[in-house]
Amino acid sequence: MTEDDIIAIRSLISSPKKIVVVPHKNPDGDAMGSCLGLYHYLKKHEQEVTVIAPNDYPEFLKWMPADDLSLKYELEKDHSDQLIKEADIIFTLDFNALNRVGDMEQFLTESSAIKIMIDHHQEPADYATYMYSDVQMSSTCEMVYNFITWMGDQSLIDENIATCLYTGMMTDTGSFRFPSTTSETHRVVAYLIEQGANHSEIYNNVFDTNSFDRMQLLGRALNNLKVKPEYRTAFITLSQEELNQYNYKKGDTEGFVNYALSIENIAFAAIFIEDKGNDIIKISLRSKGTFSVNAFAREHFNGGGHINAAGGRSELSLEATVEKFISILPNYLKALNNA
């Protein structure tokens, strides 16, 4: 984002506008945290703002301030389409291409609103009027903090904004442990805590609200874990039947893939989750070091993301998807052993 862009956006939001803020499909903590943080900020400028998520998201994200005012496109299509049609400005947060918003894609593409992208994913598409893309950033929430300071409004960050932004910074950094976490990340969260973010309560809301079923499902997942030591790879499968057995709810499998990655000498981890409703296998990929799961997901599983965290999908059966995955590994023998 150039100095001219910053001046232009500052002027745009200095008078009332109709604004829509959109995260990616299946929004995570960073996606919802950045959207709601930006929502509270824009409200301070007397803007008419609505957050529209493409679809529903897990309960453990539904406590953030003003979350109850956000719409889910899947459930409120007409109202959402109307708001998108009337919008002067659309912020797209935590995604890099319009195909990441599911059924909202067409309306967003057709909209003549000014589009402002804030995102940290690899290989951003060129759809936005103003683009703040930085793949080095820990999280989109950290970027929204930067954006607010560039607007000259750091002093407007209050408890609501701080709480939302802290949430996404915490979730996207694996509670500040991933390599993307910098000293600047810590400076930003220090400031957010000073403005009222309660780090302990936020952690508790997101991570210490497990159901017994979810813990049992984790047990099942760990039982299904397989290791391919020669490829420094570990993977987990969960079938629809297994999910049903433990009353699977959205978000229940969040973070499971990290257990596979935590095994000694493993550099590449995957989880394959059967979704009979959509007739796909949803895939999450994680890596350590130089092995790019973004490239792997793009090349083989119609997905993308970051170097060390990416996702994708397969239209094959669960068994065939795993077979395909295993059959690809030899192509990466060198890369995995040098990761």
Long-range contacts of 173-177 (CB under 8 A, 24+ apart): 173/138, 173/139, 174/258, 175/203
Total number of residues that touch Mn ion (CB under 5 A): 4
DSSP symbol at 148: H
Q: Determine the angle formed by the axes of helices 29-44 and 140-150, rounding to 10 degrees.
A: 20
221 binds ligand 5GP (CB under 6 A): no
Cβ-contact 310, 296 below 8 angstroms: yes
Nearer to ligand 5GP, 58 or 305 (CB): 305
Q: Where are the alpha helices (DSSP H) in 46-103?
A: 77-86
Our finding on whether 124 is near ligand 5GP (CB under 6 A) is no
Q: How far is the CB of 321 from Mn ion (least distance, A)?
A: 25
- Report if residue 172 touches Mn ion, rule: CB under 5 A: yes
| Shorter beta-carbon distance to ligand 5GP: residue 202 or 281 | 281
**63 contacts 205 by C-beta, under 8 angstroms:** yes
Task: Tell whether residue 24 is a contact of ligand 5GP (CB under 6 A).
Answer: yes
To ligand 5GP, the closest distance from the beta carbon of 235 in angstroms equals: 13
CA atoms within 13 A on the CB side of 262: 9
Report the residue number, 106 or 337, with the smaller CB distance to ligand 5GP: 106
Q: Under a CB-based contact definition with an 8 Å cutoff, are residues 69 and 200 in contact?
A: no
Q: Binding to ligand 5GP (CB under 6 A): which residues in 303-322?
A: 303-306, 309-313
Please report, as a single letter, which amino acid is at residue 16. P
Q: Between residues 150 and 207, which has the closer beta carbon with respect to ligand 5GP?
A: 207
Q: What are phi and psi of 176, to 5 degrees?
A: 70, 30
Q: Contacting Mn ion (CB under 5 A), which of 12, 30, 202, 285?
A: 30
275: DSSP letter: E
Mask 270-299, x = binds ligand 5GP (CB under 6 A)?
--------------x---------------
The binding site for Mn ion (CB under 5 A) comprises 30, 94, 140, 172
The binding site for ligand 5GP (CB under 6 A) comprises 24, 100, 121, 284, 303-306, 309-313
